[in-house]
Chain A
């Protein structure tokens, strides 16, 4: 088998999201995220007039962009991108300047008062490195998220993106977001 460089992405089928918050709590537990903050969240859209109503839910977290603005603006190199695409923060290097928070087009980062550092979704890199799925992906009751290597020609991610239409959020920001929302 040819060796290829892995590139982790997330494919999200928002139609299946039922706003149950399992992903939010799983992330909180897995990554000790303090109450009041969250590394992932569910966008909600409600409109219409009785009885023609619509409610749609869309899970979101760090988009692990191709060209991450947060990494570019970081003055210390604390924000970095791994070869497999995962964007993470090295807390030891972070000085809490919060440039990255402003640079991120998706508001995916927050400042942790108790530690004085910036925190974000890292696709549960510690789990992924052990061959496990990110906590949000694994726990989801309706299996909204598909996580995987977009460079794997036989992977589920590739299959979905080849078969289905999709969009990314804010492509105009020019960062190359790597969460693919199926249409």
Chain B
């Protein structure tokens, strides 16, 4: 950083200096004394800048949020608040927020709006939804949302309306890893990163893609407690930089690496024999299955030296049970993703790290009360994504987003003509943006609830502005895991604009759709019913004061290591071999299929994260955007040379579904057969700073999914790059 560049010796600068008299300039030094009497409040609440829901303390002076501080009481966020958490203030005070309901005045995507009253917006939407229901049945409406504390109300409205078509984010994120661990252990465990001695991560870039407490614990365990980190990634990430060993694995071959590890561990009898005998089924089949996958074979597939694979396998089993093959979070990589995650789960199982300190730990849970609401009938029609037929093992309630889009476009098995979206941006979250736009264009109606003008909102007919997380009360939520916590979100200021909570928006619609009986409660009543089960004398007062309730006695280890414990699987044991997979026509043990490789002159597009951005959601935050105002495409110098591209040159990247233009970064930090770009740029919405800044990966990514879980396969696209 060249700080001297700011040094301009101009008369204007010197003259400007004379105007320093206002006491306001002393605000930082004096602010406590000044406002102590007036109003300086410290209000604990819960962050919403990403999925971690960290505990924060808002410093509010005279009704203005001055600062968001970490809440040291939280065992999950471990007394930290990341860049995004700190920048949350800007979400509130961003001048380009959606400040009142809007109704489209021009063509879709033209960006012409007229401000509307809430009654108008509700009436218009209710009328359109009713028209769709009349013509196509309730299944002709689609309700999609991303997780937030009020998502439940939005989903319930869709279900009360009678639609089977509720679709959520997991199949764009972690559906394959969740399903793989569920089918193996009957649950999705947490990983005790803090106490592990040996950690292997396949592309889980935990130091740039924060998960609490894992990210902080990874630093602690590797830097302070001398745990060893082995990291596999085609890209040199921050996690790679901090790892003890980094292997730029050939993309899509992680399963070969895992099979070879099992080959060594089982072949050399290094597995946890007693644990395997007591708690698992199918070990003999597994042993037979991995016999042929020697490290020398895996070296050919992965480009990781055989001797290293064998050594890592030995070190891993020696360190067990304090050894973990970390599951990772976003597992939407390849068509074979599910089987890769299964192999990982099995590898963890055979070294006996289940429910042990420094190993995998089933999530601690806390029970909340529930407000009794009027029950609605189950939908009559089947889901439009035909989950039962296409993904019989997957979590049905979440849907399979890409298959859903393809079926809607084909009007199979029936037409879907109205779409309600709650705080999600499918325009950028789904691959092949052109097809998402086509899906939107075939809709008779699109309604969006959001805080900022996303690209999806940009194409909507009605936009309902939501109050930000610092302006509203939410239901409480249990964050299960190693340290189960109940978190509470209370408003720290009144809404700045004419915005409402999702519950209020839903209630306004429900009233007009004659569904009020399902939403006949206030937020206070809802929260009261939730918290009354907590072992506290005055639970709500406690949550208002602390922002959270920490369950005592965690972390707990070994609760499931008893002869009586039954795992929630078909056999009641940990399933190395899965009969359920076999019965549903899938491989009962992970079978490796080498991934297709890019033809000469093409490169695999891989995606990843920066610690200061959450998906495509916070690239527009001015304090965060400043760190990377545009994205660029990473090219290895060898690749760049072959294309005649220099650092900073404008290039065109093209796949079979689209082409984009952005600048090139020529860097050693990526494999020569891959290119990389950051997510969340090249927006269409002119209300964002990102319109025309870099490019959207969604325009390039081709549609592909994992066949077992339906999870999007986001690393299966090959692109050509040329200088323009």
Contacts and interface: CB of A to CB of B under 8 A. Distances in A.
Contacts of B21: 92
A97 interface: yes
A35 interface: yes
Contacts of A125: 29
B592 to A, nearest CB: 24
Nearest to B212: A141
A64 to B, nearest CB: 16
Contacts of B29: 88, 122, 125-126
B239 to A, nearest CB: 8
A138 interface: yes
Contacts of B208: 18, 20
Contact of B14 (A56, A95, A139): A95
A29 B89 contact: yes
A13 B219 CA distance: 11
Contacts of A92: 20-21, 25-26
A31 interface: yes
Given A20-B611, A24-B83, A91 B20 contact: yes
B669 A53 contact: yes
Interface stretch (A1-9, A112-120, A151-159, A172-180): A112-120
Interface in A4-38: 13, 15-16, 18-22, 24-26, 28-32, 35-38
Contacts of A124: 28
Contacts of A19: 238, 611
B86 A26 contact: yes
Interface in B5-19: 6-7, 9, 13-19
Contacts of B31: 126
Interface string A101-112: 110000111110
B80 interface: yes
A57 B207 CA distance: 13
A164 to B, nearest CB: 12
A77 to B, nearest CB: 15
Contact of A25 (B15, B66, B83, B220): B83
Contacts of B14: 95-97
B692 interface: no
Nearest to A108: B3
A89 to B, nearest CB: 10
Contacts of A110: 3, 6
Nearest to A36: B626
Contact of A115 (B3, B25, B30, B242): B25
B215 interface: yes
A146 to B, nearest CB: 13
Interface string B79-120: 111110111010000000000000000000000000000000
Interface in A26-78: 26, 28-32, 35-38, 41, 43, 46, 48-51, 53-57
Contact of B20 (A15, A50, A107, A115): A115
Contact of A91 (B26, B68, B83, B220): B26
Interface residues of A, number: 63
A142 interface: yes
B553 to A, nearest CB: 25
A67 B223 CA distance: 33
A183 interface: no
Contacts of A49: 668
Nearest to B87: A25
A98 interface: yes
Nearest to B17: A96
A97 B624 CA distance: 31
B219 A116 contact: no
B67 interface: yes
Interface string B385-409: 0000000000000000000000000
B70 A138 contact: yes
A116 B1 contact: no
B3 A22 contact: no
Contacts of A139: 69-70, 80-82, 85-86
Contacts of B225: none
A18 B7 CA distance: 30
B114 to A, nearest CB: 32
Contact of B83 (A16, A22, A98, A122): A22
B636 interface: yes
Nearest to A55: B241
B514 interface: no
Contacts of B89: 29
Given A117-B25, A126-B28, A142-B219, A41 B238 contact: no
B238 A18 contact: yes
A35 B623 contact: yes
Contacts of A16: 219, 223
A27 to B, nearest CB: 9
B622 interface: yes
Interface of A: 13, 15-16, 18-22, 24-26, 28-32, 35-38, 41, 43, 46, 48-51, 53-57, 88, 91-92, 94-98, 101-102, 107-111, 113, 115-117, 122, 124-126, 130, 135, 138-143
Given A15-B223, A43-B1, A98-B13, 18 more contacts: A13-B223, A15-B242, A21-B611, A22-B82, A22-B86, A29-B87, A48-B668, A50-B248, A50-B668, A51-B248, A53-B240, A88-B29, A92-B25, A111-B13, A117-B17, A140-B80, A142-B223, A143-B216
